[in-house]
Copies of this chain bind each other. A is one copy, B any other.
Amino acid sequence: MPGYYLFYSMETQVITVREHIIQTACKLFHEQGYNLTGINQIIDEAGLAKASLYYHFPSKEDLCVAYLQRRNKLWFDGLESYLNGTSEPRHRIVKTFDFRALHLENNNFGGCSYIKIISEMPQRGEKINRQVLLQKEKQRLFFLELTRLAIGNRKTAARVADTIFLLFDGGTVQCQVYREVTPLQVARRAVVELLDGL
């Protein structure tokens, strides 16, 4: 496997070139935005030639899709680990808001990758469009499943779950705007009272 094992990740693990590119792009796209991050900066930071990047990713848009998939994986992996040991559905829902606040703080209040990318590219490409909708739907179903476990599979469950999802996204974007965790704490409390009132 020539070209493999050439780079080291932050945890000093041996990784592939492709993985190294994704990690570099992931950091820059999320910190500076997709449109404000040029291919030039990515290859500078990653320490490779331009044609090498284009060998692994045919276009910037393809790299963007890989970025979105990676953010999605990082989020759900981190969440799963954070919820480990918590089995009660209501607690899992509420702790998801806690983790979101923690996650945003650790990411310098960068907001939601998917919302950001569609804000940057209103007439989004087909690949990016599919990714965003796919992953937003995954988040929605996550709340729906937990809500059904929490309040029973009654008729209103879908609407309650969607309301929780609205508070989740609202809290996320307002934390991005105000650069503080307060909005997500307000959202968390609203969710508790919503579930307790049922």
Given contacts A183-B162, A190-B163, contact A177 B132 (CB under 8 A): yes
The interface size bin for chain A is 35 or more
**Which residues on the B side are within 8 Å of A36 (C-beta)?**
35, 120-121
Q: Are B116 and A33 in contact (CB under 8 A)?
A: no
8 A Cβ contacts from A62-121 to B: 110-111, 114-116, 118-121
Q: Are B33 and A136 in contact (CB under 8 A)?
A: no
Stretch from A8-16, A19-27, A40-48, A166-174 contacting the other chain: A166-174
**Integer count of this chain's copies in the complex:** 2
Q: Interface residues of A: mostly helix, strand, loop or mixed?
A: helix
CB distance from A189 to the nearest CB of B (A): 7
Distance between Cα atoms of A96 and B57 in the complex (Å) = 45
Q: Are A120 and B166 in contact (CB under 8 A)?
A: no
A31 CB-CB contact with B under 8 Å: yes
Q: Are A120 and B187 in contact (CB under 8 A)?
A: no
Distance between Cα atoms of A37 and B114 in the complex (Å) = 21
Nearest B residue to A190 by beta-carbon distance?
B163
20 CB contacts below 8 A, A to B, read A31-B122, A33-B119, A33-B122, A36-B121, A110-B122, A111-B118, A111-B119, A114-B177, A115-B115, A115-B176, A119-B119, A159-B189, A162-B186, A163-B186, A163-B187, A163-B190, A166-B167, A166-B174, A169-B173, A170-B173
